[in-house]
């Protein structure tokens, strides 16, 4: 059971790093990013930064 939980945590971390790469590439090309989200469905937490990007978990 602990192996499954550890696997899921690692997958979330790896996917988040991958998606952050997309975010940074878009920002470096001057693209406005509206939302950066980890997970699917209704966000549990949501915050906006000074550039207007919504960060969701």
Render pLDDT for 2-56 as a digit per residue (tens, 0 to 9): 999 999 999 999 999 999 999 999 999 999 999 999 888 899 999 999 999 999 9
Boundaries of every domain in the chain: 2-56
pLDDT at 17: 96
pLDDT at 10: 97
Residues identified as active-site = 19
Residue written as token pair 């509206």: 34
Q: What is the pLDDT of residues 31-43, one digit of tens each?
A: 999 999 988 889 9
DSSP 8-state symbol, 51: T
Query: From residue 2, how far is each of 5, 6, 7, 10, 25 by CA, in Å?
Result: 5, 6, 8, 12, 35
What is the pTM for the complete model shown?
0.79
């Amino acid at each position: 059971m602990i192996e499954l939980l550890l696997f899921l945590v690692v997958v979330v971390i790896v996917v988040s790093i991958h998606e952050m790469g997309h975010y940074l590439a878009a920002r470096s090309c001057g693209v406005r990013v509206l939302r950066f989200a980890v997970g699917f469905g209704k966000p549990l937490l949501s915050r906006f930064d000074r550039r207007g990007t919504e960060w969701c978990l």
